[in-house]
Amino acid sequence: MTALGELQRLRASRGGPPRKRENKAAFLFLLPWFAGLLLITAGPIAVSLVLGFTDYNLIQPPEFNGLDNFNRMLSDERLHSALRVTFTYVLVSVPLQLACALGLALLLDRGLRGLSFYRSAFYLPSLLGSSVAIAVLWQQIFGAEGMVNQVLGLIGVQGRGWISDPSTALSTLIVLNVWTFGAPMVIFLAGLRQIPVMYYEAAAVDGANRWTQFRKITVPLLSPIIFFNLVLQVIHAFQSFTQAFVVSGGSGGPSDSTLFYTLYLYQRGFNNFDMGYASALAWLLLVIIAGFTAVNFWAAKRWVFYDD
């Protein structure tokens, strides 16, 4: 049962018979969590909503400036670049990553010899992918004299500086995200295990070929997991930061081609100490992610199949 399934179940169930309440004990056990909610998560969200309507540079007290920050967004060219870059990154890399994850999970399923070796080999990159070291490595292998060009040179193809060229810089980061398909793959593998073998046996008896079995059995029964991975990876991709930061030396360049939304937010907030505008940007990010998630949930009604 995934967190999303849990949320959906929560919405569907309407409390059982009333049980004895233990408010005092519960409050004590939840005390750290409540404090965290107030100070670290929900509280700051509320505060940043207020700050979004101010001009604040950390030194002078915040000054209310109405809708200025939001008007500024409309004409902020760099913000528009950041949105374009981030949407491209999310919309291209997540489907590719999930397709690889599902494809490999299907290949690895059911008693394949060496399964745990392959699973480890494919999973390892998703543990390394967000580290600075791998971002450094990426910068080097896709550089003008990097490993990729040397390999291309062996087969007689003239490469280029993939990262210094604005038209390809983002692609290298997309490749990096696809490279981390191991985590959703492991989730798919766990999901595939839940599908009873007898469904396939029965279908085979009825003469269904593997493609039909895949479409009629695997896809519907796996659809909640596909949905879960989709929601999770979309949210995850929106938050990418380290790779673009390291590869571009913090600038988002060349010519803003790797300016992820989070990187732009970082620049405004922590290079320029433009905290009011950064708060407004943070809220826009929250709205965008919530919007994407809501669309995912809405679309899910059409293609996600629930057994019960």
Partner 1 sequence: MTNLRAVLRHAFLLLLAVVMLYPVLWMVVSSLRPSNEIFRTPGLVLDGLQVQNYSLGWDALAAPFGHYMVNSAIVVLGAIIGNLVSCSMAAYAFARLEFTGKRIWFAIMLGTIMLPIHVIIVPQYIMFSQVGWVNTFLPLIIPKMLATDAFFVFLMVQFIRALPRELDEAARIDGAGHPRIFLRIILPLMVPALATTTIFTFIWTWNDFFSQLIYLTDPDMYTVPVALRSFVDATVDTSWGSMFAMSVVSLVPIFLAFLIGQRYLIRGIATTGIK
**Which positions from 100 through 119 interact with partner 1, judged by CB under 8 A?**
104, 107-108, 112-114, 118-119
CB of 19 to partner 1, least distance (A): 5
- Site track 66-105 with partner 1 (rule: CB under 8 A), x = hit: --------------------------------------x-
Q: Does 25 bind partner 1 (CB under 8 A)?
A: yes
CB of 189 to partner 1, least distance (A): 7
Binder of partner 1 out of 15, 61, 111, 156 (CB under 8 A): 15
Per CB under 8 A, which region of 85-93, 198-206, 264-272, 296-304 contacts partner 1? 264-272
CB of 216 to partner 1, least distance (A): 22
SS3 sequence, the chain? CCHHHHHHHHHHCCCCCCCCCCHHHHHHHHHHHHHHHHHHHHHHHHHHHHHCCEECCCCCCCEECCCHHHHHHHHCHHHHHHHHHHHHHHHHHHHHHHHHHHHHHHHHCCCCCCHHHHHHHHHHHHHHCCCHHHHHHHHHHCCCCCHHHHHHHHCCCCCCCCCCCCCCHHHHHHHHHHHCCHHHHHHHHHHHHCCCHHHHHHHHHCCCCHHHHHHHHHHHHHHHHHHHHHHHHHHHHHCCCHHHHHHCCCCCCCCCCCCCHHHHHHHHHHHCCCHHHHHHHHHHHHHHHHHHHHHHHHHHHHHCCCCC
- Site track 115-144 with partner 1 (rule: CB under 8 A), x = hit: ---xxxxxxxxxxx-xxxxx-xxxxxx-x-
Q: Does 10 bind partner 1 (CB under 8 A)?
A: yes
Beta bridge partners of 63: 55
CB of 209 to partner 1, least distance (A): 15
Q: Does 37 bind partner 1 (CB under 8 A)?
A: yes
CB of 256 to partner 1, least distance (A): 18
Kindly identify the residues of this chain, within the stretch 157-196, that bind partner 1 according to CB under 8 A.
179-180, 183, 186-187, 189-190
Kindly identify the residues of this chain, within the stretch 284-303, that bind partner 1 according to CB under 8 A.
285-286, 289, 293
Per CB under 8 A, which region of 148-156, 158-166, 195-203, 210-218 contacts partner 1? 148-156
Kindly identify the residues of this chain, within the stretch 196-255, that bind partner 1 according to CB under 8 A.
228-229, 231-232, 235-236, 238-239, 241-242, 245-246, 249
Q: Binders of partner 1: how many residues, by CB under 8 A?
A: 103
Half-sphere exposure of 189 (CA within 13 A, CB side): 23
